[in-house]
Structure 1
């Protein structure tokens, strides 16, 4: 086993052999479970990147059929089969998955069973509080907790969108030098948003009459003021909505109605403007483009450079040199 720490980021790799060792490890990593193998020495390789509010895991088990009975997971875990097959039964419903399939591992409040054939699985687990914050509406509008009404994606297109998001985040987190609290916060919100978009859930998706009435210019002014004052912090759409004293749906409607954009897109624009100002003021002999972009939460160099060039008609390196 190896472990690396970088700020709040932790990466771990384990290789286990034998049913008892795998059962104990998976029980500690996820939830209590009993495991039976059809071979004497099943083998599991496990890689985890722990970013605090979410984790990205890769599990590869070889040369065995593992039958697992597990207690409720109490978290939202999303799996994508890379190879092999998986059979899951939860709430009396059996489902089978193969290469390329994306699904929520289980209803988090129900026990489940799994028949796991030799395969490789990519997985992400999200803190329920993060999902609730991203999906939040006004107090009293939706008193019931957030709940997913299907364990499968609504369409192949949104499943592909979720997987693209996972791959992007995995790529960002592979570069420890780029990982800052702001980068991790942005990453967590991206994954939560992709998950809520991909799987049907009880969060409100359309503005109510009250939302439409509240989406006035004064609401927008309060939101913009909060963003301008706090762009250097790890803030979410829920934080912006709270500062503007409106729901997230109202906030989204106000930005779309008056600025033809979204709150998060506007936040990225403000942060990009700060990057531009910092590059103009920086000494190119002591400052790098990477350091300035990282400070404002831009971790993917190629995407950042393309966005910067589209916005300012030049490259960030040219701005720094000039």
Structure 2
């Protein structure tokens, strides 16, 4: 969704669809301008907006994780009496965060459904009792904060190109959540420090292989594979290393390469770029390199052979 507005009430109405606690205070209507872009990726929403005004904003999410970066000259961000480095993104899972700036700000944010995120991290860790919570507003370090910003910029470009691609959008959702939880201090770090689940590994691997072979054309993620194999994501990764000296992600990637190879060999499935995107490969050059490594020829050679 994208719109531009000069009406404070409409802006707050839109904003509160994603952050119900959000509000604008002390807005100068003569300078006010709002340019909003948002996109949904499953359990999270990617938001970017430019807001021109002397603004004091307040956010206190209830059922979401809100991750935000305010880029503005002389921006001030804080929570209670704690000051937050305005040059870095911040995360809140309920703590009230206030921000103010005097001119134009560009804001990037992820709004993540808390229940969905908790279900995902329980699957990843295998810890069914894990309660997802933040233990700090700031990133773990400055480089982590920059990594989060690069990831969000990448997501903005990727989402614009993948509006109808289920496989890619599922992977982007998982990637966004994984990066966010690695960048900020949360309870997942304590759980990840414990040993991976290792029970029933050979059976789990066989189940995983069958599930991947039957569903590689669908928007499944490694977490879905692990759930189908009745094991945590960490446990499945450990089991694949032990049994196959590989990873579930690598097997899924090869299964999708095989699907792309079939489509190109059959012909009539669209251009190479269309086939690559259908099977979850967003970068043509990376797809071509992976394809050549797997099949010894470029995708264009397979497509040309099919046209003969």
Fold conserved between structures, TM > 0.5: yes
Q: Is the 8 A contact 2:126 2:233 kept in 1?
A: no
Residue of structure 1 aligned with 2:131, choices 118, 141, 145: 145
Q: 1:160 to 1:272 in 2, by over 3 A?
A: farther
Give the structure-2-normalised TM-score: 0.84
CA distance in 2, matches of 1:280, 1:25: 47
CA distance in 2, matches of 1:196, 1:21: 32
How many pairs were matched up? 301
Q: SS at the partner of 1:190?
A: helix
Question: What's 1:264 paired with?
Answer: 249
Residue of structure 2 aligned with 1:294, choices 277, 293, 298: 277
Gaps of 5+ in 1: 1-11
Check if 1:16 corresponds to 2:2: no
Residue of structure 2 aligned with 1:206, choices 168, 179, 193: 193
Q: 1:128 to 1:303 in 2, by over 3 A?
A: farther
CA distance in 1, matches of 2:7, 2:227: 51
Give the structure-1-normalised TM-score: 0.81
Q: SS at the partner of 1:134?
A: helix
User: What CA RMSD, in Å, does the superposition of the two structures yield over aligned residues?
Assistant: 2.8
Alignment of 1:1-322 (within 5 A): 12-17=1-6, 19-37=8-26, 39-41=28-30, 42-62=32-52, 64-90=53-79, 92-98=81-87, 101-104=88-91, 107-117=92-102, 118-137=104-123, 141-175=127-161, 179-203=164-188, 204-208=191-195, 211-212=197-198, 214=199, 216-283=201-268, 287-322=270-305
Q: 1:185 to 1:28 in 2, by over 3 A?
A: closer
Gaps of 5+ in 2: none
Q: SS at the partner of 1:174?
A: helix
Extract structure 1 runs of 4+ deviating beyond 6 A.
none
Q: After superposition, give the CA deviation of every residue in 1:123-176 in whole Å (9 maximum; x if it has no partner).
A: 222233442243124998441421122222223343343333323322222225
CA distance in 2, matches of 1:255, 1:85: 50
